[in-house]
Amino acid sequence: MALAAVVTQLAVPPFYVYHFIIFMTFENIEPARIKSFVRRKGRVTPGQHFALENHWERYCLDPKMDVNFADVFGNDAPLIVEIGFGNGDSLAKMAAENPDKNYIGIEVHRPGVGHLLMKIEEMQLSNVRIYCHDAIEVLEQRVPNESLAGLHLFFPDPWHKKKHHKRRIVRDSFVELLARKLAPNGYFHAATDWENYAEWMLEILNRAPNFKNLSPTQTVCERPDYRPLTKFEQRGIRLGHGVWDVMFKRV
């Protein structure tokens, strides 16, 4: 007999019945997703402020609106997403060097978005658009399946402490999302200056069924020429940190 029917037969169901119903109701509800970032305030410079005020409409996309990226760029060149571009210097450089590709940068830090907007104007880049929003939501809601030629994740927040590892953006659910959004033969390229995070990424990607490691040693790769040094990376190098590039192909 259905549980509801049993309950209605009882004048006053015992406490454990209520307990059981509550447990069954909430057991299958996913807890709110743990974000990979904390929003930092950060100072907006006058130049960034001007760019945010004047160029936002032209280059920033609304995370609530459906878009057709071929219409946005006026062509259907291969689409590359970069998550967490920081101040966007390396994304702007890559876009300038690869005018035959389109780039979507996703970053939650507004001063960084302002900085990239300045760069886009200064360098007259027509192949970059921005989302100032959580990348996971943008990927889930706005990026069609099997549409990306590549996804870049350069120096994601490493969340050093073990108790914070659950905040790392690379986790099983992220890799599953990646497998849906990358086109077959599309690539995932991450870089980190935290060896433990490189190992963590390798472990997660190696157990994902749809990915093949592009490293000849099946571990990490040399930095390919197309990836400029990022701001975060240059600071790390000054402090003597190593750098590990992780590259996988979606098969």
Ligand X SMILES: C[S@@+](CC[C@H](N)C(=O)[O-])C[C@H]1O[C@@H](n2cnc3c(N)ncnc32)[C@H](O)[C@@H]1O
Residue in the block written with tokens 């040693």: 217
What is the DSSP code string of 106-147? E-S-HHHHHHHHHHHHHTT-SSEEEE-S-HHHHHHHHSPTT-
Pairing of the two strands 148-154 and 79-83? parallel
CB 132, min distance to ligand X, A: 8
- The span of 52-60, 73-81, 83-91, 198-206 binding ligand X (CB under 6 A) equals 83-91
157 tagged catalytic: yes
**Token code pair at residue 169:** 């953006």
CB 218, min distance to ligand X, A: 25
As a whole number of angstroms, the distance between CA 46 and CA 54 comes to: 12
Considering only residues 105, 150, 156, 186, which one is a binding residue for ligand X as defined by CB under 6 A?
A: 156
The verdict on 181 binding ligand X (CB under 6 A) reads: no
Size of residue set near ligand X by CB under 6 A: 23
Q: Which of residues 20-49 bind ligand X (CB under 6 A)?
A: 36-37
Which among 71, 76, 157, 225 is annotated as catalytic? 157
Task: Give the contacts of 145 (CB within 8 A, at least 6 positions apart).
Answer: 180, 181
Considering only residues 44, 96, 136, 183, which one is a binding residue for ligand X as defined by CB under 6 A?
A: 136
The verdict on 69 binding ligand X (CB under 6 A) reads: no
Considering only residues 83, 95, 139, 198, which one is a binding residue for ligand X as defined by CB under 6 A?
A: 83
The verdict on 169 binding ligand X (CB under 6 A) reads: yes
CB 70, min distance to ligand X, A: 23
Q: Which is nearer to ligand X, 106 or 177 (CB)?
A: 106
The verdict on 230 binding ligand X (CB under 6 A) reads: yes
What is the DSSP code string of 35-75? PS------PPPHHHHHHHHHHHHHHBPPTTS---HHHHHTS
Q: Which is nearer to ligand X, 19 or 164 (CB)?
A: 164
Helix (H, G, I), strand (E, B) or coil at 245: strand
Provide the 8-state DSSP code for 175: H
Given the rule CB under 6 A, which residues bind ligand X? 36-37, 83-86, 106-109, 112, 134-136, 154-157, 169, 230-233
